[in-house]
Every structure is written in structure tokens, then in C-alpha cells.
A and B are shown apart, each in its own frame.
Chain A
């Protein structure tokens, strides 16, 4: 699977994990050169509260299977999602966990990064709504370190997606996440 890099965002419906994955996919497809990307999601019929996962596969080549087989990077925002998905991380991969909702850490052969994603959105930025943008900032830093996507490309995709008038708040949330992952 070395020809592809798989990223999964998982949490609860309403946390914005689908949008986060769309933004990473868009960053690769539209704001970088020479990357292909495919984004997909899985969720139930409820509008909020159900389990939700969203995945992006990026590759320099053609992407056949559109879903993650064993994600290289996971960003997980609830304990339920952590219990369900963390074990599936690619050996040697990275799992980013929110420290407010995920308190029991998984035993996995992967680097665990435990960060105040939800708390930063809620307490520092005053809007839990921007949790996904903080998470995206973290993911962007990881993807930069791995030499895949430039954080500017991800930020550009953020600004292209969020509603008018909220750019500043979302950009700030993204920056908070990015710095947090240093």
C-alpha cells in the first residue's frame, strides 16, 4: 500500500469530520500539484449523534479502492470512535486523539498524539463548532512533517469551504491546531 497514504477522521455526527476530510481531499486535488485524492464517508441516517467516519486517500498515482484499508493517520474525536477504529491504524502510523472525549488510550502499534482539540475550540476560541478546523490544523502539521501536503494548501482549502464571514474564526482554529501539533 506504499503507493497510497490513507487518512481517517472519526467521531460523532455533527463534529464536522466529513467536512474535514473533504478539505484535505480538496487541498490535495486543487491546491497541490500532482496529487490524486478520493474522499468518502460512512454514517447512519441520523443528522447528529450517530457514529461517523470520513476518509481521504491521497496518492501520486491512480487511486483504485476509495476507502482506507488501514489508515496511516487517524484523527479521532470520541471514545466510541476510538474503541471502534484505533486498532485499525497501520502499524507505525499516527493516531491523533482528542483529550476531552477520549480518555482511555488504545494499545496500538502507532504514535499516539493526545491533544486538547475540543477544549481549544470550546475554551480558547469560544465555539465548539470549530473542533474540526482545529483537528484539520493538527492533521495539516502531520501531513507537512510527512512531506505530503503543504499546510498552506490545506488552509487555502479551508478558506474556500467555510461560510462567508467565518473565515477569520476558522483560520484561527486551523492555526491553533497547527501550532498545537508542533
Chain B
């Protein structure tokens, strides 16, 4: 995952070992241009991760620093075998990711197909559809929580009460916490999928489309036989990027449900926050962080491979 910084093997002159600055100055210019950004990224992102691994092997609660000790894999063992919250959060994470990625891809596909046709105000509709992704997640989540999901004063329940028979007025966040969080995630990420899929749709050659239309294909047949097969790579890209980014979203969870009721909407990244910042448990928080990264590595690896293929083709 982390590519180690290669040693800069400038050729030393035979008579003397040149100084560090001298060797640096003799590097090809390309390397010198890369160096500042590379060093920055290593220091700010890799160093903390190495420390996370180190802390994950220790018993260390900031409330009881005197009991700090090296405990090997105990934190992992505890989380995996004796912590029911961990298991629930692991299941929730899987459910959230699969549901949110799949549904936002599906909705994004619908959005993209809709605005991929000419109609009056197409530009405005596309802008409207993109907007949820631009809205700060904190603000969006609060709007959903109070103005839409609220059982008494929320618009959604006003709608269900006045349209559906029998005064249906569920407590969304209390009774369907996972569904509510997923709804907001899908609302936020469908525009992202739309943008990627739209780029894919617009790279289909017009001649091919014309040809099937001349043959009398309906809009559905054209979508099924031409658009969809062409999109598979864009769907993969959207799905993998979505997976990687949606795992990182904890603000909607914090704003909407605080992981509850109990831990019904707690995901692993959210649990890291709780362990470390609310119960001051550095060791277990770090161990959880490592586990989150290990889980992400699967999708990250797939994503890197796909990006590699895409670069080669471009």
C-alpha cells in the first residue's frame, strides 16, 4: 500500500563522498520537483499510521495513564472476541457500504440517463441533481434530521399522514436508524455516481446510437444493449470510489443518530471516534483504526488496479 520512498542513489564521485546537499542538487530535476510533496505526504499520512499500529499494541487509557503497558495483540483479541459493539459495528459497516454504494449507483444511473437526453432546462435539472453532493454533510444531515425526519414536524411524516391512509407517522431515526442514515448517504452520493456515469455515457459514439435508432430500437433497448454494457467500467470506478469515500463518512451518523439507538447505526470508523475521543481508550481506538484500514485495503487495492488500467488507456 504505502510505497516506501526509494533511496536516492545519486552516483557518488570516486574521490570523496559528496555532501547530502550536493547529492540532492545532482538529482534529476524530476525527482527534485516531486520531493517536497512526497516528503509532506509521508510525514503527515504515513507516520501517524505507523504510530496507530504501535499504539494498537498497548494498553493505554488516557484516564489511567499509569496502567499503560505493551500488551501485544490483546486489544485486537478483545475487539474480535469480547466486544459485542465491535461485531455489531462490523455488520453495520458492511450493510451501510453495500446498501449505500449499490443504491447510489442505481439512483445515479437514473439521474444520468435522465439528463443524458435533450429537454428544456436540462442544464438546470443537472445542477439541481448535483447540489446534494455539494452541501456540507453536517448541514445536510441536520436539515434531514429536523425538517424531514422529525416525527411531528417533519415534512416526510406530514406527507405520509396526509397521503397514506391510517395516520402513518413512524419515528424514522428511532425505529429505522440504519435506513435513515443510508437514505441520507444515498441522497448525497447519487450525484457523484451520476457525474461519473454521465461522463461514461457521453463517451459513447453518436454513430453507434444513431445506428440502433435507425434500426428502430426503443429507449430501453438502446440503454440495455448500448449504454449499459459500455458503462461497466464506469460503474466499477463509481462503486470502488464510493466504497472508499463512504466508509469515511461519519458526519451524517454523528448528526443523525450519534450511532444509536444503542449501537444500531454505529459503523467501525464511528466506533474509532467513540473509543478514542469519548472513552479515551487509545489502545483499542488504535486497534480499531488498524482494522478499518485493513478492511479498506481490499477495495483500495481493487481501485488502484482499475485506475492503473484507466491511465494506460488514456
Say whether A and B bind each other: no
Residues of A within 8 A of B (CB): none
